[in-house]
Chains A and B, each alone.
Chain A
Amino acid sequence: MDFNDTPQEAEFRAEVKAWLKANVPDQNQEVASAYSSRQNQAEALAKAKQWQAKKAAAGYAAITWPTELGGLGGTPMQNVIYADEESKYVVPRGFFDIGLGMCIPTLIKHGTDAHRQRYVKPALYGEEVWCQLFSEPVAGSDLAGIRTRAEKDGDDWILNGQKIWTSGAHHADYGIIVTRSDPAVPKHQGLTFFFLDMKSPGVEVKPIKQISGGRNFNEVFFTDVRVPDSQRLGGVGEGWKVSLTTLMNERLSAGRTLDADMVEFIAMIKTFTMEDGSPAIKNADVRGKLADWYAQGQGLKYTRFRTMTALSKGQTPGPEASIGKCVSASRSQDYAAFAMELMEMGGVVTDPDHSPQQGFFPESWILSPAMRIAGGTDEILRNIIAERVLGLPGDVRVDKDMPFNELPTGA
């Protein structure tokens, strides 16, 4: 049992460290300002594109992809090592994760050579941004219940309907979309999958104002949008199968370790006193909660180490890799809320000049509900653990064999 790299891993890590040191711009940037939802999005995107181009040229934008697609032909462990090292810097993040993590892998698997030739490289270099058009107002956790219609018209398909929660649609050049091509068959059987130009006539993107005040995702409306049949991915009626490959491509989360936030939290607690003048850090409630969150945080960290160990040995990680978001999302919500409680009346202040840690905790509190919903709700993730890990039965599905257009809708 040790935490050391193998000689090959150490060599790769050294290369990555040297490259990051030589190439990361603005190395003294403060974390709080870089992650703030208050930053200007257009400016942030421009910076992100520059950084992405640099990464792609060095091969680090898609470490596990084959070299003929612009990747590094590397291992999942190398991917983790890169993410580990990159997380020590403040670099633009988040603009290409969906495109490179979900959209392009789906296109690579289900598209033609011509598609791969045309779209993979510009996406990799950050020149073209992709979004994923899956959820709808009536279909979130129940994704196969989507209603956006696709009707064949000559060599084209005509799309009508609405998508929602589409991250980055407002700056996306292309999107992948799952549609209903046949409402008369049971819901999983009537779906067809396409990709489309987001600048096509009839596509309208409306940003959704979130409770944080930010506008990171959108409603997308489709009115008689024409998509050539050549942009269909997978067979007609096989859209569900294609969607599953997209969802399986969600990358192993290899992000920042949780040590840093705990250190900041403790540092802040040490500056507070209780009403009776005693130090907050000596309060039994505070200590109990601190211990719980620390133990959870360390549990996540070392669970990730177990996953990395499997990757390092060339094995498939065990099911324990699936618990991360389930734990971390409500953990951040709870402890941000508790940090605000410690600030007493001052806890409501979000002004970075007048709130401890530049307003990090109130900001984290208002952002955290999204974490418990996006990318699989807490409840869906627990279903997945119960079914795939513990082998418990799936839900009874009353809609499974009924024609889609005969299902009750509540409308």
Chain B
Amino acid sequence: MNFDFSNEQKMLKDQARKFLQDQCSSTVVRQVLEGEMEYASHVWQEMAQMGWQGTCIPEAYGGAGLGYLELCVLAEEVGRSLAPIPFSSSVYLAAEALLSAGSEAQKSHWLPKLSSGEAIGVLALAEGAGAPVESHLQCQFSGGQLTGKKMPVLDGPLADVAIVVAKDGETGGVSLVLVDVADSSVQTEPLTTVDPTRPQAIMTFNNTPAECLGAPGKGWGLLTQLFNKAAVLLAFEQIGGADAALQMARDYALGRYAFGRQIGSFQAIKHKLADCYIKNELARSNTYFGAWALSTNARELPLAAATARVSATQAFEFAAKENIQTHGGMGYTWEFDCHLYYRRAKLLALSLGSALTWKNRLVDQLEQPSAA
């Protein structure tokens, strides 16, 4: 039994934590929140120099050629620091989509750029409120051209390349479509959202030149596989954030006095924070199993990913809201960082699909005769 990360992976994690503490404190997160910059580009560039964006990209395409376990430990630290960078969009989604479905030409063109951080990739799926349904997508790809509107697109304002999920005019199915956002026919309009530390956009395509990523009409299946992998990585961001929110609540409960004693000595606070800890540990354990399934490409991946996703979403949302509650009125001020966790927890809970959606996927898997 060795259900743990290796010493080298733990060292990488420590380095990442230290780097983000130094370079990506909440002051930096707030600069993006206040609109002083679109994202933390200096953090992004320094990360690229350390090779983070290319962690799982083979050396032939300019990456580090490491494994998913290394990417998992980095994801946890990105989540802990609330880094305002397009890491999940560019690394877990765009680069992974190219790696699993891209042609040699597509990979050679885009992967070195994504790996070096020079280009930022995004995934465009949603078309407004409500769960995206395979048969209801309006965005249309036909004759090498893409037309339609996607909203919201996470990190859309930063995108150089977009992978768009669209109805395929020729096969009648759904395809993943690769778009160079620099094309003049692409319109990117910024959106206001609950978490301004990660920019979002409405992206409009109007006869935009595009090419299929992977087999035409097979996009929905590719998307499902992509989401299973990304869910594990995002769950690591979530447990990192959940840990940080609990830590913040605990520190405040030790420093704040009421009725002549530390508020952390009241059971109402102690039990709340113990519940946070319990949820965080359950989520951590499920997320580790997800990491195992991801790194070994195990047949359990769909169930492991859904399980990790559900419990990590619950843990981070709970920790973020109870962190505000522990702070009382101060927790509701702009000045305190509590809302940064509250915002990010909700953003991460909804990108890739809500807990409701993932619970359904989890039970779909349990219904399979070979499950559990």
Show the binding face of A for B, using Cβ within 8 Å: 1-5, 9, 77, 259, 262-263, 266, 270, 281, 287-288, 290-292, 294-296, 298-303, 305-306, 308-309, 312-313, 320, 323, 326-327, 379, 381-383, 385-387, 389-396
Contacts and interface: CB of A to CB of B under 8 A. Distances in A.
B270 A382 contact: yes
Nearest to A320: B281
Closest 6 CB pairs of A and B: A299-B282, A386-B270, A291-B359, A302-B285, A382-B274, A393-B265
A1 B345 CA distance: 28
Contact of A392 (B3, B264, B281, B289): B264
B271 to A, nearest CB: 4
26 contacts: A1-B291, A5-B1, A266-B372, A281-B367, A290-B362, A291-B358, A291-B359, A294-B372, A295-B286, A296-B311, A299-B282, A303-B282, A305-B3, A308-B3, A309-B4, A320-B281, A320-B284, A327-B278, A379-B271, A383-B274, A386-B264, A390-B250, A392-B254, A393-B262, A396-B261, A396-B265
B289 A294 contact: no
Given A308-B1, A323-B282, A392-B254, 13 more contacts: A1-B4, A281-B367, A290-B362, A291-B362, A292-B359, A302-B286, A320-B284, A383-B267, A386-B264, A386-B271, A392-B265, A393-B254, A396-B261
B356 interface: yes
A383 B250 contact: no
B285 A306 contact: yes
Contact of A299 (B283, B292, B295): B283
Nearest to B253: A392
B34 to A, nearest CB: 32
B1 A299 contact: no
Given A4-B1, A396-B261, A298 B307 contact: yes
Given A1-B69, A379-B267, A327 B282 contact: yes
Contacts of B269: 392
Given A266-B372, A299-B285, A302-B288, A294 B1 contact: no
B135 interface: no
Contacts of B2: 1-4, 309, 312-313
B180 interface: no
Interface residues of B, number: 49
Output the residue of A4, A290, A392 with the most chain B CB within 10 A: A392
A395 B1 contact: no
Contact of A290 (B254, B271, B363): B363
A355 B372 CA distance: 24
Contacts of A393: 254, 261-262, 264-265
A1 B3 contact: yes
A300 B267 CA distance: 24
Nearest to B295: A1
Nearest to A2: B2
A281 B291 CA distance: 29
Interface of B: 1-6, 69, 246, 250, 253-254, 261-262, 264-265, 267, 269-271, 273-275, 277-278, 281-286, 288-289, 291-292, 295, 306-307, 310-311, 314, 356, 358-360, 362-363, 366-367, 372
A238 to B, nearest CB: 28
B281 A312 contact: no
A135 to B, nearest CB: 21
Contact of A295 (B253, B273, B277, B310): B310
A281 to B, nearest CB: 6
A309 B264 CA distance: 32
A112 B122 CA distance: 71
B312 to A, nearest CB: 9
A199 to B, nearest CB: 42
Given A303-B282, A390-B250, A395-B265, A295 B311 contact: yes
Nearest to A299: B282
Given A1-B69, A298-B307, A305-B285, A323 B278 contact: yes
Contacts of A306: 3-4, 285, 288
Contacts of B358: 291
Contact of A326 (B261, B278, B283): B278
A294 B307 contact: yes
Nearest to B292: A1
Contacts of B246: 390
B111 to A, nearest CB: 26
A342 B43 CA distance: 53
Contacts of A295: 282, 286, 307, 310-311, 314, 362
A266 B285 CA distance: 23
Nearest to B254: A392
A1 B356 CA distance: 30
Given A5-B1, A266-B372, A392-B250, A386 B363 contact: no
B307 A1 contact: no
B264 to A, nearest CB: 4
Contacts of A379: 267, 271
A263 B370 CA distance: 10
A99 to B, nearest CB: 29
B289 A298 contact: yes
Contacts of B69: 1
A131 B372 CA distance: 38
B254 A391 contact: yes
Output the residue of A259, A295, A327 with the most chain B CB within 10 A: A295
A287 B286 contact: no
A308 B2 CA distance: 8
Contacts of B372: 259, 262-263, 266, 294
Nearest to B366: A266
A260 B216 CA distance: 42
B285 A312 contact: no
Contact of B310 (A291, A323, A326): A291
A299 B295 CA distance: 19
Contacts of B359: 287-288, 291-292
B362 A3 contact: no
Contacts of A389: 274, 277
A5 to B, nearest CB: 7
Nearest to A383: B270
Contacts of A288: 356, 359
Contacts of B311: 295-296, 299
Contacts of A390: 246, 250, 270, 273-274, 277
